[in-house]
Each structure stands twice: as structure tokens, then as C-alpha cells.
Amino acid sequence: MRIATARVDGVVTTVVDSGQGWRTSRVPALDVVTGADAGPGDQVAEEQLEYLLPYRPPTIHGIGLNYADTVAEMGWKTPTAPYLFPKLSSSACGPRDDIVVDLALTARADWEAELGVVIGRPAKSVPVNEAMSYVAGYVAANDLSARDLQEQDGQWVRGKGLDTFCPLGPWILTKDEVPDPQQVAIRTWVNGQLMQNGSTASMIFSIAELVSYCSSFFTLAPGDVILSGTPAGCGDFRSPAVALRPGDVIEVEVAGLGRQHSNISAPAPHEL
């Protein structure tokens, strides 16, 4: 099942697709994701949908350095355990929203296309062999990063948490629709140029291992999203480096989860 939040004829609504096309639902998207019956609804054509943020995650758990090709590209050592960092819930935005890059705050805004893992029920101290039963589905994510702020701070709250630095969507795909989450293609284009072309097959730690590891330290709540890492091809690790600027267009596609299309914009001037 695909689950999204969209504007249809000016009205914001949940929409679901169980294989017979999109239909509206009065049930909040997060409730449907975590198992609620979407109920009856009206059929709607896909071209009528203006995709929005599917829902605002309670917590976003970031995973760094989880692709072998990315670690090699950076010249770092392969981690022996998942590298965790917080990604602020307030950074989440929709798959068609502008990404605001304020050059007064960061000169090295970078992209990171990722498979987002949506938690379906509370998970604490979950063994690896049971971890996938706590996953509700998956969502395309762009874990944007301000590389200069990351370097300045050491920890990554500012560098990862700027407003609009986590586009999610266009839809959530339930777990049953993804036969093998370790065989999912991930691609990024910037101004039409292919920048990332990878696969979750290159992950160092699997989805099950990430869920288990995170749950060993804190309770994962329904609707939490784990950003599972990004393949090689980020801008800051290129030679010469590439940084996002207002006027750029970035597209992120995760196989089966749709394509994001985001314009990079400058911050709006403050109202007098």
C-alpha cells in the first residue's frame, strides 16, 4: 500500500493506494501507516495530487557512514557500529517543498539521498532477528547536511537540523511491498546531472541491524523514521566539491518510493 498526504482540489487529505489507484481517507496518514483501516474514500487521479509531507515524524534518527562506497569516498575507516545522530523533526518538509539554503548560515549545503525506515510499533531492546516486525514501511528521504556547520561543531545538530533539510515522500510504501530492503536503488540528480546512483546493497549495517541497535539505547515510537545512510556521490566529497545554491534543482528517487523534486531557494526577506 502507498500512503500519502496530499492537497486535492485545495483540500489537504490522506490518500491511499492499495493497488486500485488512489482514494481519499479521513484517517491521518500516520494512523494508516501504523495499521489503522483507511476506511472508504473517493477515487482520485494521481495528476490531481499535490504531495505534501506525509506526516511529521515524532523523532528522526540519522545514521552516518553506513555505505561502504561512501566511507571509501570520504577516506574514513569503516565503522564497527552504526554512527547515530539526531535529525530534528522540525527539519522535515514535503517532497515538492523548497529547500531553503541561507548562504549566511552555510556555504556547503549537501545532499544525501536515503531509504527512510518507518517504525510501526514501540520497539525497545529488539533482537536483530525480530527487528523487521517493528518496521511499518519505507519513505524516500533527503538528509541534507551543512558540512561547514558539521565541521565547526563536531556534533551534527546544527549541520543536520536546519529547517527544510529533510524532505520526505512523496509517499510511504508499506513493508509488504518491498521484498528486500537491501536491494533498493537510490539516485540523485542536481540540475539534471546524475550525482548519486547507488543501492542499499552497499550498506554496512542492514535495516534489521539498525532497528535493533537504535532500540537498544532508546525506545523507538510509532512513526519514528530511521535515515539509513547514503551511497557515494555527495557533493562535498567530490573534486572539486559541489555545494547547493539558490536556483538549483535537486531530485531524489528511491525505487518504488517515488521521486522528490525540490527547488533550492534563498530565505524569504523578513517582513517589516
The CATH number given to whatever domain includes residue 143 is 3.90.850.10
Higher pLDDT, 264 or 154: 264
Q: Which domain range does residue 137 map to? A: 60-265
Domain membership of residue 271 (yes or no) is no
Q: Does 228 lie in the same domain as 103?
A: yes
pLDDT digits (tens, 9 = 90+) for 181-235: 999 999 999 999 999 999 999 999 999 999 999 999 999 999 999 999 999 999 9
Q: Does 127 lie in the same domain as 36?
A: no
Q: Does 185 lie in the same domain as 156?
A: yes
The reported pLDDT for the residue numbered 25 is 98
The reported pLDDT for the residue numbered 112 is 98
Please work out, in degrees rounded to the nearest 5, the angle formed at the alpha carbon of residue 32 by the alpha carbons of 99 and 224: 50
Q: Does 47 lie in the same domain as 69?
A: no
8-state DSSP, 24 = E
Domain membership of residue 91 (yes or no) is yes
Residue 155 banded pLDDT, cuts 50, 70, 90: confident
Q: Does 261 lie in the same domain as 218?
A: yes
End-to-end Cα distance, the chain: 46
Confidence check: pLDDT of 271 > 70: no
Residue 272 banded pLDDT, cuts 50, 70, 90: very low
Tell whether omega for the bond before 240 is within 30 degrees of 0, i.e. cis. yes
| Residue 261: how many other CB atoms lie within 10 Å | 17
Q: Does 159 lie in the same domain as 33?
A: no
pLDDT digits (tens, 9 = 90+) for 12-68: 999 999 999 999 999 999 999 999 999 999 999 999 999 999 999 999 999 999 999
pLDDT digits (tens, 9 = 90+) for 115-139: 999 999 999 999 999 999 999 999 9
The reported pLDDT for the residue numbered 154 is 86
Q: Does 78 lie in the same domain as 150?
A: yes
C-alpha 264/C-alpha 268 separation (Å) is 12
Domain membership of residue 216 (yes or no) is yes
Domain membership of residue 97 (yes or no) is yes
Name the 3-class secondary structure at 43: strand
Domain count, the chain: 2
